[in-house]
């Protein structure tokens, strides 16, 4: 029997979830709901919450109260433990499963960080992002007076240090120097090397590609100089959508095993993310 997934929110991520569901033999679509649709009629095993992170808590709670399990890619790193604690009693009371922060970072990168820490418990991990668009920084620039549209690119400089390349399209009559100063003194930018450039069209720069370079230098037992590296070059929404669908599979399985509650990806066995017979997957992957 296929797992029935409802998509809530139909932007970049919602569309990517739709495509990943279509490509998964064990999944089927139970409906697509826009951000402001009524959700009373929703009938699904899992709701994939493809709404902005700030809206995730309310949607998750609403779905879990209906006994519908949820997956989301909530990406405000510092608030993940709070979200997990807040949703835990709701998921448990309604015999549902919620997997939170299931994208690539937080998400699969978090799993890799956990495995690297297990391999070398002492040491340093650096996660370098980009080149790629930072949504948080972009939204911060768009909110500045005189900015018609903006793009903030994250450029990795190594050891977790990033350069911000900010491209702004101005409203008629806006003063570039004033906008530039507002950006450079904004909390999002003031601690990073930031360059602001005026462009005629931000839309012409649109690209959802992104990347990660993660490094760990550490110690295994008493042995130093253990080196690990994880890289990816990816279409951001496509990967996020795919991870959400893999996580929905894990959520359905955990619900089936009556493991109700809220989980981050580091709390899930990797095999739960995969479609297929356990022994066959072990034969192929181990």
The residues with which 4 forms a beta bridge, in sequence order, are 28
Region from 35-43, 91-99, 180-188, 233-241 binding a copy of itself, contact rule CB under 8 A: 233-241
Using CB under 8 A, pick the residue from 44, 60, 150, 243 that binds a copy of itself: 243
Region from 54-62, 113-121, 162-170, 173-181 binding a copy of itself, contact rule CB under 8 A: 113-121
Of the pair 175, 257, the CB lying nearest a copy of itself is at 257
Of the pair 47, 245, the CB lying nearest a copy of itself is at 245
Backbone φ/ψ region at 30: left (φ over 0), alpha (ψ -120 to 50), beta: alpha
Among 266, 258, 153, 236, residue whose Cα is nearest residue 199: 153
Using CB under 8 A, pick the residue from 42, 80, 135, 155 that binds a copy of itself: 80
Record the tokens describing residue 187, joined without a space: 């909390």
> Can residue 275 be called a binding residue for a copy of itself (CB under 8 A)?
yes
The SS3 of residue 124 is strand
Using CB under 8 A, pick the residue from 14, 57, 106, 156 that binds a copy of itself: 106
- Output DSSP code: residue 54: G
CB neighbour class for 39 (10 Å; exposed up to 12, middle 13-18, buried from 19):
middle
**159 vs 37, 128, 163, CA distance in Å?**
44, 7, 12
> Can residue 26 be called a binding residue for a copy of itself (CB under 8 A)?
no
Q: What number of chain residues touch a copy of itself (CB under 8 A)?
A: 69
Sign of the CA dihedral with 251 first, then 254, 260, and 264 last: negative
- Residue 216 and residue 185: Cα distance in Å, rounded? 32
List contacts with a copy of itself (CB under 8 A): 16-17, 19-20, 22-24, 77, 80-81, 84-85, 101, 104, 106, 108, 110-115, 117-122, 219-223, 225-235, 238-239, 241-243, 245-246, 264-271, 273-275, 278-279, 281-283, 285-286
């Amino acid at each position: 029997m296929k797992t029935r997934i409802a998509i809530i929110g139909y932007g970049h991520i919602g569309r990517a979830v739709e495509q990943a569901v279509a490509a998964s033999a064990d999944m089927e679509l139970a409906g697509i709901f826009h951000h402001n649709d009524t959700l009373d009629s929703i009938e699904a095993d899992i709701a994939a919450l493809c709404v902005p992170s700030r809206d995730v808590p309310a949607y998750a709670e609403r779905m879990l109260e209906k006994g519908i399990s949820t997956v989301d890619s909530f990406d405000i790193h510092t608030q993940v433990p709070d979200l997990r604690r807040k949703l835990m009693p709701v998921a448990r009371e309604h015999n549902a499963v919620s997997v939170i922060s299931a994208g690539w970072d937080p998400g699969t990168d978090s799993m890799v960080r956990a495995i690297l820490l297990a391999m070398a418990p002492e040491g340093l991990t650096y996660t370098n992002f980009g080149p790629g668009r930072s949504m948080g920084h972009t939204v911060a620039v768009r909110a500045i007076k005189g900015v018609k549209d903006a793009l903030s690119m994250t450029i990795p400089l190594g050891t977790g240090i990033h350069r911000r390349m900010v491209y702004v399209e101005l409203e008629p009559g806006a003063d570039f120097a004033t906008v530039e100063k507002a950006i450079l003194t904004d909390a999002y930018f003031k601690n990073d090397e930031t360059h602001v450039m005026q462009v005629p069209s931000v839309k012409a720069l649109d690209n959802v590609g992104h990347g990660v370079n993660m490094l760990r230098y550490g110690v295994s037992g008493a042995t130093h100089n253990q080196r690990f590296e994880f890289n990816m070059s990816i279409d951001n929404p496509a990967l996020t959508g795919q991870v959400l669908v893999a996580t929905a599979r894990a959520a359905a399985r955990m619900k089936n095993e009556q493991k109700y509650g809220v989980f981050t990806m580091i709390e899930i066995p990797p095999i739960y993310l995969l479609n297929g017979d356990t022994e066959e997957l072990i034969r192929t992957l181990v």
